[in-house]
Amino acid sequence: MTRYLLRRLLSSAITIALMAVLVFFASRVLPGDPAVIRAGNDATPELIARIRAEHGLDRPLYEQFFHYLGGLLHGDLGTSVRTGNPVSADLLTFLPATLELSLLAFVVAVLVGVTVGTVAAAKAGRWPDAAARGFTAVGGSMPSFWLALMAIFVLVYTLGLFPSPVGRLPLGTSAPPRHTGFLTIDALLAGDGALAASALAQLALPALLLGTLSSIALARITRTAMIDALSASHTRAARGLNLRRRHILVQEGFRNALPTILTSMGFVAGHLIAGNIIVEQIFSWPGIGRYLSTAISQSDLDVVQGFVIVVGIGYVLINLVVDLLYVVSDPRIDLRRAG
Amino acid sequence: MRRKHIAPILAAALTGLVALSGCQGGSQGDSGGRSHSFIIGAGEVDGLDPVQTKTMTAQMVVANLYANLIEQKMVPVADGYLDGTEEYVNSIVKSYETSADGKVLTFTLADGLTFADGSPLTADDVVYTMKRTLSDASYVSGSSTVFMHISDAEKQIVAVDPATVRVTLDSPAPALNAFLALSTFGILNAEKGTANAGANGAATEFFVKNATPSGPFTLESWNAGESVKLAKNPKYVHAGDVYPEQLTILNMADEDQRYLALKNGDIDVALDLSPRLVKEASSEPALTVHSMPSNTLYYLGMNAKVAPFDNKLVRQAVAAAVPYELLMQEVLLGQASPAYGVVPHNMATSTAPSETATQYQTDPQRAKQLLAQAGVSNLTVDLSISSADPISVDSAVHIQTALAQAGIKVQIKQLADADFETKSKAQELGFFVANWASWVQDPFFQMRALLLTDRATNRTGFANAEFDKLVLDGIAEGDKARRDELSAQAQRIVVDEASFVGLFTKNLTVVTRSDVDGITLADDQLLRLKYLSRK
């Protein structure tokens, strides 16, 4: 197990290194000159040159690359041309909002996706299956921005089921002292249960929406994997032995489908940590999705690079966890061969 | 047995989340309970340094945190808002004297001035601020230096005593007051700035993240990317005239969300709504639309260095084919005024014969004749626009259709905003739609920015030595009559050259709840929030 883990860590490190190289050169393809954008309308050639020099943009590409790599090794993701802040500091400011939303959305996605997929497979060809397929077809075909706006219009402004989407806390509420950046947790740490409840309430609708949207792929894959497992020979044998339906569904179906479902959950988690620009825009959620969106529009190269690296590391770690969960969940996996 | 209950428990958890939200939520429906506090749906605040911030929302915040020596006088107009006049009134000064030759200005500060933290506000703070705004640490130093006629700030701005500042100009500066009233000249705390000088010696890092308010409001909190909260500054010299006790400025990136929140009474003021939503708001009894004529000028740029626009007849043909009225009605839904030349009709010295006159008349037949005279046929051109600006995108479609009627095939090229900015400022685009809003209502400021040879914001590649001389002479000229004549001559050259074709001036639109009063139209288009009140 230790050897397997080391190998996986090594391959993850190589993946991250390759990604760092790729993202540097890919971000250079972004149109626009960040120095011109930063200099603004009163720019002079001297001012633009000074900004270029301050951000190392006047150096040859290879020098910029080595400077960037050197910075990365020291945990320096560069400086935002737009905000003037270290990218790592900006990401630390905005990342907790995205992570808090993503974690709750992930829980929703797993609950909804796995439940819908499992029920559909268990009742394949009958009305619950048709309903599940309808859910995934309709949900998958609707643009997320439209769905988000309709959700706000109906669930907030018409039915009053959720608070107004005005950010992470209701209007007129002050944020708790920052420890984790997760407002629900920070509020609890501050001993303010009501504030934690308010923060959770603000989270609810965007998390439900994002989670439900993310659950669609998970539901489809769960259904397919479960149907495959339930129609396999070992399941037919179990039926022949008159084992209980529950046993067949869980032991023969779900356990055998689990590696596929875990893979899909990994994709969903990876997708969620990258932030969701549309949901963050519409719900006024100050996460990294919006931060990236602005950075791209302003050709803020260090931010784009830093974002991709941080999110990429997140992806790699999630994949690592998923791989380890395979081993735990499926005794058939031979670590010697898997390594 | 335990497993049996997992599904119901999970379902209950989800239901609980919704129920919890319901308990916490509930739409307010009106602004009840917020008589002296206002919530504004706007954009992002990218920093608090008056000479570094780039977003309009940040600039608005800064304009309300810091007081200036003088400020633009606001007067109520029939349309229900406060309009900025050409008159400037004392803000933190009790007197402002100009020498007979117009070159020496003496400002005497009001008695007992302090910053919001109680520390005294003296002449040293004024000198520090002015020098900083005119230094390399400022992104507005270039134009400020030129128009204020201060070539050596270190020598020309001095504190005579703790309450007196003397500024010596190179020559009389007609636009000086307009500059002094800008947010970029809001008075900062010199002691704090000096103590936190930082890498560039100008405390940029400090002032980007911290405020030392001298104006009507103090900074209560700033959650990056989310909101800024301002509270009334009891130490402000005119605190008695400030109605709002608290202001919350929310970063609401989505305009539909801003509109829904306003309609529901969650917020009091929504900024930067599209013409579609403004029109919708105008039929809502609970909302008031302020559609204020501004100087945000949309124009069609034709680069005379790029074929086929190197042919003046082609440029004139395009100008004759543009559907000016249609753009105002279909794209802006009536929330616009005609444009005439480079100086909008509501700016001093505009040569527009009337408020309804356009620079060119829409006449496809004349466009065809001009093309025939130019010896051009089957013309195909690329029209570049920034994809980030929906008004440019919509305008381009109408221009494409209209030019087709004149025999010109237009291919629309949508560029990412950064790409558009970079390429247009490098004068690489032959044909494009862009916009411009001067902070200072001065015709020479406008013409210098848009058309002086090789200015950063001269996107058309316009280069005319006679025009340049007129503009530079106008900037240096102190005599009003002579200035007006120079301006008129320069404008005529622009019209004749047809490189720069004004499409329309877009109104500044602010939508509020109906009980909100005190919306302002300052020259820089930034709301002065101290005037906000409830009807």
Chain A residue nearest residue B10, CA to CA: A111
SS3 call for B49 = coil
Question: Which of A274, A293, A271, A273 has the alpha carbon at shortest distance from A282?
Answer: A293
Peptide bond into B308 cis (omega under 30): yes
B27: nearest CB among A41, A83, A160: A160
Q: Parallel, antiparallel, or unpaired for β B217-223 and B227-232?
A: antiparallel
DSSP state of B3: G
Is B204 close to A84, i.e. CB distance below 8 A? yes
How far does the CA of residue B191 sit from the closest CA of chain A (Å)?
A: 23
Give this prediction's pTM: 0.86
Q: CB distance from B330 to chain A under 8 Å? A: no
Is A294 close to B44, i.e. CB distance below 8 A? yes
Tokens of B42: 């706007």
DSSP state of A96: H
SS3 call for B23 = helix
A166: nearest CB among B46, B250, B456: B250
Q: Which residues of A touch B257 (CB under 8 A)?
A: 149, 152, 165, 282-284
Look at residue B466 in the predicted model and tell me its pLDDT. Answer: 96
Q: CB distance from B16 to chain A under 8 Å? A: no
Residue B92 confidence (pLDDT) above 60: yes
DSSP H/E element including B319: helix B312-321
Mutation pick from A27, A33, A42 vs chain B, by most beta carbons of B within 10 Å, is A42
Cα B279 from Cα B507, distance rounded (Å): 13
Taking only the tens place, the pLDDT of each residue in B418-467 is: 899 999 999 999 999 999 999 898 999 999 999 999 888 999 999 999 99
Q: What is the DSSP string of B159-170?
A: EEETTEEEEE-S
Is B418 close to A111, i.e. CB distance below 8 A? no
Contact in structure between B418 and A32 (CB atoms under 8 Å): yes
| C-beta neighbour count of A339 within 10 angstroms | 12
Question: Which of A281, A284, A82 has the alpha carbon at shortest distance from B223?
Answer: A284
B416: nearest CB among A31, A42, A153: A31
Q: Which residues of A touch B221 (CB under 8 A)?
A: 174-175
Look at residue B1 in the predicted model and tell me its pLDDT. Answer: 42
ipTM at complex level: 0.78
Look at residue A246 in the predicted model and tell me its pLDDT. Answer: 83
CA A191 to chain centre: 29
Cα B70 from Cα A2, distance rounded (Å): 72
- Sole residue written with tokens 């797993």: A110
Domain residues of chain A, as ranges? Answer: 90-163+202-299
DSSP H/E element including B147: helix B141-148
Q: Quickly count helices (H) and strands (E) in chain B.
A: 18, 20
Q: Which residues of A touch B141 (CB under 8 A)?
A: 42
Look at residue B90 in the predicted model and tell me its pLDDT. Answer: 96
Q: CB distance from B143 to chain A under 8 Å? A: yes
Cα B450 from Cα A145, distance rounded (Å): 37
Is A284 close to B257, i.e. CB distance below 8 A? yes
Contact in structure between A88 and A76 (CB atoms under 8 Å): yes
Q: Which residues of B touch A198 (CB under 8 A)?
A: 24
The CATH fold of domain A90-163+202-299:
MetI-like fold (1.10.3720)
Question: Which of A272, A278, A280 has the alpha carbon at shortest distance from A202?
Answer: A280
Q: Which residues of A touch B22 (CB under 8 A)?
A: 160-162
Q: Parallel, antiparallel, or unpaired for β B500-513 and B287-302?
A: antiparallel
DSSP H/E element including B39: strand B37-42
B24: nearest CB among A198, A287, A290: A198
Is B422 close to A202, i.e. CB distance below 8 A? no
Which band of pLDDT confidence, cut at 50, 70 and 90, is reported for residue B2?
A: very low
Cα A105 from Cα A92, distance rounded (Å): 20
Mutation pick from A166, A198, A278, A288 vs chain B, by most beta carbons of B within 10 Å, is A166
Number of residues in chain B: 535
Is A282 close to B256, i.e. CB distance below 8 A? yes
**Residues 190-249 (B) with a CB less than 8 A from some CB of A:** 204-205, 208, 221, 223-227, 248
Strand partners, B276: none
Cα B424 from Cα B463, distance rounded (Å): 15
Cα A5 from Cα A13, distance rounded (Å): 12
SS3 call for B304 = coil
Look at residue B8 in the predicted model and tell me its pLDDT. Answer: 56
A157: nearest CB among B7, B226, B264: B264
Is B27 close to A175, i.e. CB distance below 8 A? no
How far does the CA of residue A7 sit from the closest CA of chain B (Å)?
A: 36
How far does the CA of residue A259 sit from the closest CA of chain B (Å)?
A: 21
Tens of pLDDT along chain A (339 residues) come to: 788 888 888 888 898 889 989 989 888 887 888 888 888 888 888 888 888 888 888 999 899 999 888 988 888 998 888 887 899 999 999 999 999 999 999 999 999 999 999 999 989 888 999 999 999 888 888 888 888 889 998 999 889 999 988 889 988 788 899 999 999 999 999 999 999 999 999 999 999 999 999 999 999 999 999 999 888 888 888 878 777 888 888 888 888 888 899 989 998 998 888 767 888 888 989 999 888 888 888 888 889 999 999 988 988 888 888 888 877 777 666 665 554
Look at residue B22 in the predicted model and tell me its pLDDT. Answer: 55
Q: Which residues of A touch B415 (CB under 8 A)?
A: 31
Look at residue B17 in the predicted model and tell me its pLDDT. Answer: 59
Taking only the tens place, the pLDDT of each residue in B12-52 is: 665 665 565 555 544 444 555 678 899 999 999 989 999 99
- Sole residue written with tokens 């009163």: A42
Is B260 close to A157, i.e. CB distance below 8 A? yes
Strand partners, B221: B229
Look at residue B3 in the predicted model and tell me its pLDDT. Answer: 46
Q: Which residues of A touch B24 (CB under 8 A)?
A: 163, 170, 197-198, 201-202
Q: Which residues of A touch B139 (CB under 8 A)?
A: 39-40, 42-43, 47
Question: Which of B56, B72, B74 has the alpha carbon at shortest distance from B180?
Answer: B72
Torsion angle of alpha carbons B38, B41, B47, B51, nearest 10°?
-80
Q: Which residues of A touch B384 (CB under 8 A)?
A: none
CA angle A158, A164, A169 (to 5 degrees): 160
H-helix segments, chain A: 2-27, 34-39, 45-54, 61-73, 87-122, 127-141, 144-151, 183-189, 193-230, 233-240, 245-247, 255-273, 277-282, 288-297, 301-329, 335-338
Torsion angle of alpha carbons A226, A227, A228, A229, nearest 10°?
50
Question: Which of B290, B400, B389, B279 has the alpha carbon at shortest distance from B333?
Answer: B279
B20: nearest CB among A50, A170, A197: A197
Cα B481 from Cα B483, distance rounded (Å): 5
DSSP state of B262: H
Question: Which of B370, B421, B348, B355 has the alpha carbon at shortest distance from B177?
Answer: B348
Question: Which of A20, A42, A216 has the alpha carbon at shortest distance from A114?
Answer: A216
Look at residue B97 in the predicted model and tell me its pLDDT. Answer: 95
Give me Rg for the CA atoms of chain A: 24
